[in-house]
Amino acid sequence: MKKVIVGVSGGVDSSVALILLKNQGYEVEGLFMRNWDSLINNDINGNPTLENDICTQEQDYNDAKKVCEKLGVKLHRVDFVKEYWDYVFTYFLEELKKGRTPNPDVMCNKYIKFDLFIKEAKKLNADYIATGHYAILKDGNLYKGIDENKDQSYFLSQLDKKQLENVLFPLGDMKKEEVRKIAREYNLITKDKKDSTGICFIGERNFRKFLTNYLPNQPGTIINIKTNKVVGQHIGLMHYTIGQRKGLNIGGTKERLFAVGKDLNKNILYVAEGENNEYLYSDSCIIDTLVLNTDEKITKCSAKFRYRSKDVPVEIEYLNDKELLIKYNNVKSVTPGQVCALYIGDRCIGSGIIKEVRKDGKKLWYLL
């Protein structure tokens, strides 16, 4: 009997992954990763998040424990707090300092869930590891999960082929409602638990307040890029991303204003009127931190520039071993620091991090 170590989070997806793999005849054990110190976990009011006097992460562990006990599955627990800080959270802070918009969940998969977790699973004599991600693996290649609303291949796009060896994604060919149905049939404590929408392992919180624990706010001016007039004050460039409308706190304009760029040296946030203003659009970008899981030199494919954004057709120019020029037709809110995931059909062939955004062959001066 093959042994599978399942990454359990205390959520419904990993709970059902346990059920499915056990029913398929595997020897199944769970592994809960503690990646953040819950003592510094704050809610939207800046207070420790408590549920029945237990911090949220401990509540997740208790839920995972109850699920495993109900299913007769052994549960292990491992502490990656230091590693998460070193490889994921430090990266997150450094990117914010540069005025970019990082995706720490992608890095968490790359350095924690599909690296340290795999090594820990091997110590437990695992033949496979499994997670509750909505994605599909076929012949060593990564594909989108069938549930378009839940597909998580974007978050897995920085994994190389080696990391995807001996990995199982039991939810890839299921829809979320089916997963909930199975959890209810087994009457699991996680059956109606809401999905986490916060940053991987850090949770949901007043993020602006949370960040000031690590990066001091540096207030500056907000300038309308069309009129070059000051229209407000920002609290710090790290708190804004391209295309953002909410939270700008600018009044007195007839049309809605959107963040379109940043000048890090002058500490200026640029805005423009209208959700389809010209400053939100670009036609190419440079990506680095490449992971390409294909031996072919692909010149045409599709790309996803943000999670839940639509795939768009692109052309690829190979600048060097470390950078690609991605060309496309008038795409909105392509943002430095975000992941550009590349697809051929439903197959994800890899990704890169957006380094520079361009229009008409020139770097957009107002984007960093």
Domain count, the chain: 3
What average pLDDT does the segment 352-358 reach?
98
Select which of 68, 108, 285, 348 is catalytic. 108
Residues 66 and 172 in one domain: yes
Q: Which domain holds residue 294?
A: 278-363
At 150, is the pLDDT very low, low, confident or very high (cuts 50, 70, 90)? very high
Residues 85 and 187 in one domain: yes
Supply the pTM of this predicted model: 0.92
Residues 50 and 113 in one domain: yes
- 12 has pLDDT over 70: yes
Give a yes or no: residue 211 inside a domain: no
Q: Which two tokens stand for residue 63?
A: 């839920």
Boundary-marking domain end, from 206, 228, 257: 206
Residues 284 and 168 in one domain: no
Select which of 55, 68, 200, 348 is catalytic. 200
Give a yes or no: residue 307 inside a domain: yes
Residues 240 and 198 in one domain: no
Give a yes or no: residue 368 inside a domain: no
- 141 has pLDDT over 50: yes
Residues 266 and 231 in one domain: yes
Residues 328 and 347 in one domain: yes
Residues 177 and 140 in one domain: yes
Identify whether 285 is a catalytic site residue.
Answer: no
CB of 7 closer than 8 Å to CB of 14: yes
Residues 303 and 252 in one domain: no
CB of 324 closer than 8 Å to CB of 353: no
* 300-345 pLDDT tens trace: 999 999 999 999 999 999 999 999 999 999 999 999 999 999 999 9
* 18-39 pLDDT tens trace: 999 999 999 999 999 998 876 5
Give a yes or no: residue 154 inside a domain: yes
Look at residues 100, 131, 92, 136 and name the one whose alpha carbon lies nearest to residue 114. 131
CB of 18 closer than 8 Å to CB of 67: yes
Residues 231 and 326 in one domain: no
Residues 256 and 283 in one domain: no
**Sign of the Cα pseudo-torsion (343, 91, 270, 245, in order):** positive
CB of 67 closer than 8 Å to CB of 230: no
Provide the CATH number for the domain around residue 335.
2.40.30.10
Cα–Cα dist 143/124, whole Å: 28
Identify whether 200 is a catalytic site residue.
Answer: yes
